[in-house]
Structure 1
């Protein structure tokens, strides 16, 4: 078959697809391929901007861990990087969808776009599950290190097991919910699907529930910290910022409901893709947000307490503060004790009596596999004992 014949067959197939679509919807107006109405600028602008901010905050997190943390990258960082990779892929795929149908009226979609749009839509759904799952599991790994209580370990490990299983289920259902698989992008094939809307509603509800549980889990511990109210609220806001992703998830479910009752699905479906991008990118951004504080304090000491100064209690500068056995500790040495000596080298007048004091703070030595997180700063360590 020569090239000319192939072009003729392709053109004929596209024309047949267009004719078939118009015959099913006689109320559609004539297609406008010259200057169609589109939501492409909105979808691409918001998606690219949110993805860019996400990558910037991820870079800040990696930089902070690499330069300001003694242990370097941990398991939670690796998982967050993977989550950001899937989120970036989702942003790119949504942009492809926006240039091939999403945000256009159904009748203005060019027939040659059908195949690309179908493949991109399927890939979009496939990338969503690992992006959200890995983000929450990364945050749970951070909780395991920051709050080493028995209740926290049970919660985090149980939730991790559930999220791994639920993420796998979402990927499998995405691949088998319609058959054959090629019917996603080949309009000539007859598509047989399960009841998609009930699955979308139930999966959205489960995702929103796990978001709320994961992001609000540390709130009880943070409320019990004995430190100034504003600082306590600041820590609580840092950990709970991921609830923005819950709002995006709820709005995505509203958009799915609207599309199911719309005769112009690609136009109404703009907001499904938009809220999906915001949900995954905000999850990663909120997971990286705690790394901004130490970098700002180091770069602009006048904005707050510098993380490089020595405090009045002799604790020195701390790279990480972990809540353990009811107190907040600073990691200064890898030894099991930290000696704090005052007035050791002070010059004294003749006849004066020199008095020295030493305080021993017992700590548990961390394993090499432990991760570090710049959440609690030097002042938090000084003031943040837990009320029992």
Structure 2
């Protein structure tokens, strides 16, 4: 009975385009909410009554709910969630602060809102900057900058005579417009960040036989949408800083050929990489380099790596390990050590052997 291990790098729970679709829906929702909220607040901006006080508290609470959804999308693409958690905490504190400030008058409300706008704007700047590869984030970055400046202006308005809440309504509506722009500019499946057809392959395969690439002399990515070399880690250089572009395939060692094969699979920044026994016939050091490249594809490029291997050490590099026996999934483990994976493989092999012996008897 043959027992194999299927491993999958799962830094993104879904492809980048799936996360972008979730963000697009969220941004449309935030625009609609901001437009309705701004209209209601503007109608009651001159006085601080029960309706306007309720609106002031609801706005940051809605922001908390959206930030929770946003954080899930961020985790899906390996993006930053710490900043979003900070935003959740800030918005929660702001809701409490506005509820208290509403009992003191409009100037107190403007001061609390000003603090929130400045801090939330800074967080938005950071999150938008890190998400640039999703496309459509420049509007969010500009919105964060405007939020920071607007927050400072609210402090100034709080000390002026005849302060009203109308500027808060305008601020919220403008923020909603930026969410709308971002939603329209986010990548759709099969599109680049500018809405044009994406010219890189969504899938890539790294075969067990690295000799399949013997006719290819160099691993190069120079298309119009090719990722920046720094974003690929060392993929374009064979993984250890060595450049193989000037050498024929026959002049490369087995380990070098394998690294070039992996580099060719990663150079177009695919969403999914399939690797069949990528460490076969490699020494321990070279195998670690190849596995490191695949791990970089998950951690740095946001790809999903589906790897088939019989090596527990190789399987231990994966986030999730699925055990395959007789053509069916028989077991699984999350982030298991090489020792644990080896034990599961041995137990599974023994179990299938007993079943086979029973059938033979």
Please report the TM-score for the alignment, with normalisation by the length of structure 1: 0.42
Q: Return the structure number with greater relative CO, CA threshold 8 A, min gap 6.
A: 2
Normalised to the residue count of structure 2, the TM-score between the two structures is 0.45
